[in-house]
Amino acid sequence: MNPDLDKLQPYPFEKLAKLKEGITPPADKKHIALSIGEPKHPAPQFVLDTLVNALPEMERYPSTKGLPELREAIANWLIQRFKLNQCDAETQVLPVNGTREAIFAFTQAAIDRTASNPLVVSPNPFYQIYEGAAYLSGATPHFLPCLEDHHFIPDFSQVEERVWNDCQILFLCSPGNPTGSVIPSSTLEQLIELSDKHNFIIASDECYSEIYTDEANKPTGLLEVCAQIGRDDFKNCVVFHSLSKRSNLPGLRSGFIAGDQDILKNFLLYRTYHGCSMGIHTQLASIAAWNDEEHVLENRRQYKQKFKQVLEVLSPVMDIEQTDASFYLWPKTPINEEEFAQRLFAEENITVLPGSYLSRTVDGINPGEGRIRMALVAEVDECLEAAQRIRSLIERLNKS
């Protein structure tokens, strides 16, 4: 077996299951899960109808590159959403089976394991696929802390020159998981300059880009900044997007990677052997989703309502703030985050994820300590009830 498998840590939800082991929550309180970032809003009916009507397409093999119509729909969406000057559907877009699969596979294809010390630089806390993909590609992850005093965005100015010299992929997550922070345009421009100097790939995971509270202030994308500086070839830059959060379709497993055509050409070669073509029925349903914005507006409206009601309940008793984007809250806990999560389940039958499970301890600092991730994915009424129960626990803690 691959010896690098031994480097993989348990997934956060495995740790969470152990934390809850042996606890019997109160039976008179319905369980509310705020732990997993799985949208619970209904999937758009017109997408489901398209999927059903396209089921006969399962009789055909799909191509790895995907239908031209899907790549055109994606390219048009990118141009409109991020104000791109152009996006070539033939060479700069590639459909993928969700960002998780694509990020992992991309890392395997992109890392040059013959280098002396290949690094994958990642935010900390982070989506655990970045770490696992790095190890299994023969690289080493290098974590950059996302701390409150820097708006939960890595302070890239503090990264040593030797790290940039060894860096082969810089993973960004904007809006961030779990912090919800959006990396500003000026920082992205600086990172592009660093990429030119040190010749590394910037891989920006932007799957939460369509969940935000201010319609006049949409999260900036990496390709958007490329367009602003006239970098229409997107050299060294790729982005990952998905329909899972944008369109409440996590089970469709549909997304895309877009950017530098030379990088995508090599990634397509890898995927041809990887055997991960998207079914034609899924592609047709995806076209319908990417071509419509009305359901996305309704999606955001529901998240805004949940944020407003939850924050009104919790702000008086908890150190909690509205995040820039995503459907996460990243509050501080009044006691140790594991103990808080454990008591919340035991006393209120609510599941949240300890922030330390999403982070690694580097130089004695774990950026997730003393925090929890709350995913406001349940229905509005459930999220409000969860907030009220969390407040009840905090008020009991304050009295003890």
Q: Which pLDDT band, with edges at 50, 70 and 90, does 376 fall under? A: very high
| 27, pLDDT greater than 90 | yes
Cβ atoms of 77 and 239 within 8 Å: the answer is no
Residue 16 shares a structural domain with residue 133: no
Final residue in a domain of this structure, among 231, 264, 291: 291
Q: Contacts by 229-232 with C-beta closer than 8 Å and gap 24+?
A: 229/189, 229/192, 230/85, 231/192, 232/84, 232/85, 232/86
Main-chain phi, psi angles of 54, to 5 degrees: -95, 0
* Whether the bond into 178 is cis, omega within 30 of 0: yes
Asked if 86 and 38 sit in the same domain, the reply is no
Task: Using alpha carbons, list the distances in angstroms from residue 265 to 53, 64, 90, 222, 370.
Answer: 32, 12, 10, 19, 43
User: Among 2, 52, 27, which Cα is nearest to 348's?
Assistant: 27
Residues 249 and 305 reside in one and the same domain: no
In 229-287, at which residue ranges do the beta strands (DSSP E only) sit?
Answer: 237-242, 255-259
Tens-place pLDDT, residues 312-369:
999 999 999 999 999 999 999 999 999 999 999 999 999 999 999 999 999 999 999 9
Residue range of the domain that includes 235: 56-291
In a domain, 246, yes or no: yes
In a domain, 1, yes or no: no
Q: Is residue 357 part of a domain?
A: yes
37 and 67: one domain?
no
Q: Are 302 and 280 in a shared domain?
A: no
> Using an 8 Å Cβ cutoff, are 367 and 125 in contact?
yes
Q: Per the domain annotation, does 2 fall within a domain?
A: no
The verdict on 26 and 136 lying in the same domain is no
Cβ atoms within 10 Å, residue 114: 7
**Integer Cα distance of 240 and 67 in angstroms:** 18
Encode pLDDT of 195-228 as tens digits: 999 999 999 999 999 999 999 999 999 999 999 9
Q: What percent of the chain has pLDDT over 70?
A: 100
- Domain end position, chosen among 291, 308, 336: 291
Q: Do residues 273 and 303 share a domain? A: no
Tell me if 4 is assigned to some domain.
Answer: no
For residues 70-97, give the mean pLDDT: 98
Residue 247 lies in a domain: yes
- Determine the Cα–Cα distance for residues 257 and 385; give it in Å rounded to an integer: 38
**Same structural domain, 162 and 18:** no
Tokens (6 digits) for 301: 């409206």
286 and 166 within one domain: yes
- Residue 166 included in any domain: yes
Among 102, 100, 95, which Cα is nearest to 282's? Answer: 95
- pLDDT tens digits, one per residue of 321-333: 999 999 999 999 9
Residues 300 and 287 in one domain: no
CATH number of the domain enclosing 370: 3.90.1150.10
For every residue of 205-243, DSSP letters joined together read E-TTTT-BS-TTSPPP-HHHHHHHTT-TT-TTEEEEEEH
Neighbours of 214 (CB within 10 A): 12
Measured distance CA(105)–CA(247) in Å, rounded: 23
Report residue 197 as tokens. Answer: 């100097």
The residues near 209 (Cβ < 8 Å, ≥ 6 apart) are: 81, 174, 175, 218, 219, 221, 241, 246, 325
pLDDT, the chain, mean: 97
What is the tens place of the pLDDT at every residue in 91-113?
Answer: 999 999 999 999 999 999 999 99
Quote the number of domains for the chain: 2
What CATH number does the domain containing 65 carry?
3.40.640.10
Looking at the fold, whether 336 and 375 belong to one and the same domain comes out as yes
Residue 289 one-letter amino acid: A
- Boundary (domain end) residue, out of 291, 316, 340: 291
Interval 270-274 mean pLDDT: 94
Residue 160, CA distances (Å) to 142, 155, 174, 188 in order:
11, 11, 22, 18
In a domain, residue 48? The reply is: no
Distance in angstroms (rounded) separating the CA atoms of residues 345 and 21: 11
The pLDDT score that the predictor gives to residue 275 is 86
- Does residue 331 sit in the same domain as residue 379? yes
User: Residue 371: what pLDDT?
Assistant: 98
The rounded distance, in Å, linking the Cα atoms of 53 and 92 is 29
